[in-house]
Amino acid sequence: MSLTLLGQIFFNGIVISSVYVLLAVGFNLVWGILGIFNFAHGHFYMLGAFMAWYFISGLNLGFFAAFIFSGICIFIGAAIALKGLLDPLKENEFVCVIASLGLVSLIEGLVSAIFGGEARIVNLPVTGVMKLGGLYLSYPRLATLGISLAVFGVFLYLVYFTNFGRALRATGSDPEMAQVQGINISRIYFITFCMGTTLAGMGGIVACHMTPLMPHMGIDFSLKAFIVVVLGGLGSIPGAVVGALIIGLLESFIGSIFNPTIAMIVSFIVVLIILLVKPSGLLGVEGR
Q: How do residues 166-186 score in pLDDT, each as one tens digit?
A: 999 999 889 999 999 999 999
Q: Are 41 and 30 a contacting pair, CB within 8 Å?
A: yes
How does DSSP classify residue 260? H
Q: Are 284 and 49 a contacting pair, CB within 8 Å?
A: no
Give the chain as a 3 state SS string. Answer: CCHHHHHHHHHHHHHHHHHHHHHHHHHHHHHHHHCCCCCCHHHHHHHHHHHHHHHHHHCCCCHHHHHHHHHHHHHHHHHHHHHHHHHHHCCCHHHHHHHHHHHHHHHHHHHHHHHCCCCECCCCCCCCEEEECCEEEEHHHHHHHHHHHHHHHHHHHHHHHCHHHHHHHHHHHCHHHHHHCCCCHHHHHHHHHHHHHHHHHHHHHHCCCCCCECHHHHHHHHHHHHHHHHHHCCCCHHHHHHHHHHHHHHHHHHHHHCCHHHHHHHHHHHHHHHHHHCCCCCCCCCCC
Mean pLDDT of 190-209: 95
286 residue type, one letter: E
72 residue type, one letter: I
Q: List the domain boundaries for the chain.
A: 3-277
Mean pLDDT of 21-49: 93
Residue 165, CA distances (Å) to 74, 156, 172 in order = 21, 9, 10
249 residue type, one letter: L
- Which of 276, 185, 242, 208 is CA-nearest to residue 28? 242
- pLDDT confidence of residue 285: 62
What band does 235 get if pLDDT is binned at 50, 70 and 90? confident
- How many CA atoms within 13 Å lie on the side-chain side of 185? 15
- pLDDT confidence of residue 173: 87
Name the pTM for this structure: 0.93
Class of 3-277 in CATH: mainly alpha
- pLDDT confidence of residue 192: 95
CA dihedral of residues 279, 259, 146, 152 (deg, nearest 10): -20
172 residue type, one letter: G
Angle between helices 93-115 and 218-232 (to 10 degrees): 140
Q: Which of 135-144, 151-160, 167-176 has the highest mean pLDDT?
A: 151-160
284 pLDDT exceeds 80? no
